[in-house]
Structure 1
């Protein structure tokens, strides 16, 4: 398993990351040990999350590739970005790139939901 350093990860604002629920990640990737939300986790715990997710993605690449593709579809990861991830030079890099894409997509959903909630309803 490759150690992920917090400095290797994309910046995740604490307020956005804190609201991110993990139930879909747990369900799709079988990572039952994840907390329900990330309200107060450290940078080291974020790095461990990416590491766990990337490790599970590597396993799925070997054992259940169709399930991995279905999970990427379910998370609505942009197909072009996923294709870029699959063009990485090795399996570890592919898995890490996909893990980042999954988290980025979840954060994008949070931002969209927050924006929608702030927009007044107009008839």
Structure 2
């Protein structure tokens, strides 16, 4: 996949939304073309399988967004854990 050129935004929220959109697009591509790579990515990122399955069961209309949000949430948790134990 080609690396996109991300535009400069005025606020961190705009940056976050653009990044979220990009992740959703990539997840859609993986869902359509290489589902095993998507599963592998989620496994390596240590996304909670049971929480993800529950979220997908509750809202099956937008799976790419749910998967992206779970992935982002896990990455943010990792950052917080590293900050906590770095001190």
TM-score band w.r.t. shorter chain? 0.7 to 0.9
Which of 26, 35, 40 is 1:56 aligned to? 26
Q: What's the secondary structure of 1:109's corresponding residue?
A: helix
Cα distance in 2, alignment partners of residues 60 and 99 from structure 1: 12
Residue equivalent to 1:66: 36
CA distance in 2, matches of 1:103, 1:34: 20
The answer for the alignment partner of 1:77 in structure 2 is 47
In 1: Cα distance, 2:2 partner to 2:11 partner: 17
Aligned to 2:64: 95
Match of 2:4 among 33, 41, 47: 33
Structure 2 residue runs of 5 or longer lacking an equivalent are none
Whole-Å separation in 2 of the counterparts to 1:98 and 1:47:
15
Aligned to 1:10: none
Q: Which one has the largest radius of gyration?
A: 1
Consecutive unaligned residues of structure 1, counting only runs of 5 or more, are 1-29, 119-123
1:15-56 deviation per Cα after TM superposition (whole angstroms, max 9, x unaligned):
xxxxxxxxxxxxxxx463377xxxx85322211111111111
For 1:22, the equivalent position in structure 2 comes to none
Q: Which residue of 1 aligns with 2:76?
A: 107
User: Which structure has the highest helix share of the two?
Assistant: 2
Aligned-residue CA RMSD (Å):
2.1
Aligned length: 83
